[in-house]
Amino acid sequence: MTKNKTAPGVFKAVKKNGSVYYRASLTFKGRHISLGSFETEASAAAAYTEGSALLSSGNREENERLMLSYPSLRILPYEKFISLLNFKDNGIYAPNPIYIRRSFIEYHLCPGETLKFDRDDLFYFSSHKIMKRGGHYFAADYGLQVNILNRFGIKNYAVKDRDYYFINGDNTDFRRSNIEIVNRYNGVSQKNKKGKTVYRAVIHIKGNFIIGDYEDEITAAIAYNKAADILKKNGISKAWEYNDIADIDELKLKQIYDTVKISEKIISLNNLQN
């Protein structure tokens, strides 16, 4: 980037291919903040003017109205718009579009779509960008896209309203007090059997096969793992996702594994093609 300064807060820069672009930035409370890159000096200058106006705007109520009126602000990217308002109101600058409330944080994914998290999640989501794909939310983590549900103990294979649900019905409210996990393990679900809650283990081969019904979810999860081992020994190859059981010690786990009963139908399956 060259040192050729043009309009206030705007710097002329040159790409590797020789084309010119403009960067806008400002300083607020001793922090230098980049506002982004723009094709023209005029748009970069407008971004600087817009950013300066936001940082000198009124109280929180006025800022609430500004959030709702974002579509009328055409220059600053939405993420930067939220970051600046949060810095002004809360004194914390986050590069991601986070706005801090009294008891939770908001992640403003786009105008009209806001996710809620506990304040304890501020550090993580300040540095991990959220994306949406196929109705699911992912965080960029060391080059991977990780389903944000994993952060709350929900597995990738979990089904909403069967394995977990949002207590207040708001699918964008990821505060831990709002997430109820019903089934924690792969292949395990709660069933009502003659007025009693049991945990049914089911494994998919070429269709679903019932492994058995068990008194607790850990036993059912271990039964699932044992059934997968038996099927593999019988020549049935499939990439089952084993349950990671960390709630009991290894001795107890082995004891349950050795004694848990598996459906005879599972045991007798032999060389079934996927």
Same domain assignment for residues 81 and 112: no
Same domain assignment for residues 89 and 121: no
Same domain assignment for residues 261 and 223: yes
Same domain assignment for residues 5 and 79: yes
Model confidence at 74: pLDDT above 70: yes
Give every CB contact of residue 243 below 8 A, 6+ residues apart in sequence.
Answer: 185, 186, 187, 188, 221, 222, 224, 225
* Residue 271 binned pLDDT confidence (cut-offs 50, 70, 90): low
Position 273 in a domain: no
Model confidence at 3: pLDDT above 90: no
Of 31, 66, 93, the residue at which a domain comes to its end is 93
Position 133 in a domain: yes
Residues 165-177 have pLDDT tens digits of 999 999 999 999 9
Same domain assignment for residues 146 and 163: yes
Same domain assignment for residues 129 and 197: no
Position 156 in a domain: yes
Same domain assignment for residues 4 and 81: yes
Position 274 in a domain: no
Position 193 in a domain: yes
* Residue 272 binned pLDDT confidence (cut-offs 50, 70, 90): low
Of 182, 217, 246, the residue at which a domain comes to its end is 182
Same domain assignment for residues 113 and 135: yes
Residue 223 burial class via C-beta count within 10 angstroms: exposed 0-12, middle 13-18, buried 19 and up: buried
Position 256 in a domain: yes
- % pLDDT > 70, the chain: 95
Residues 231-262 have pLDDT tens digits of 999 998 788 889 988 879 999 999 999 999 99
Give every CB contact of residue 43 below 8 A, 6+ residues apart in sequence.
Answer: 22, 75
Can you tell me the distance from the alpha carbon of 120 to that of 123, in angstroms, rounded to the nearest whole number?
Answer: 7
Mean pLDDT, the chain, as a whole number? Answer: 89
Same domain assignment for residues 177 and 102: yes
Cβ-contact 26, 48 below 8 angstroms: yes
Q: What is the pLDDT of residue 2?
A: 47
Q: What is the pLDDT of residue 134?
A: 87
Give how many domains the chain has, as a whole number.
3
The crossing angle, in degrees rounded to 10, of helices 217-233 and 250-259 is: 60
Residues 202-233 have pLDDT tens digits of 999 888 999 999 999 999 999 999 999 999 99
Same domain assignment for residues 171 and 194: no
Model confidence at 273: pLDDT above 80: no
Q: What is the pLDDT of residue 73?
A: 61
| Amino acid, res. 25 | S
Structural domain harbouring 145: 98-182
Model confidence at 274: pLDDT above 70: no
From residue 111, alpha-carbon distances to 106, 190, 208 in Å are 12, 38, 42
Cβ-contact 236, 272 below 8 angstroms: yes
Of 140, 155, 182, the residue at which a domain comes to its end is 182
> Which of 73, 97, 87, 69 lies closest to 26 in space, CA to CA?
87
Position 76 in a domain: yes
Position 155 in a domain: yes
What is the H or E stretch that residue 220 is in? helix 217-233
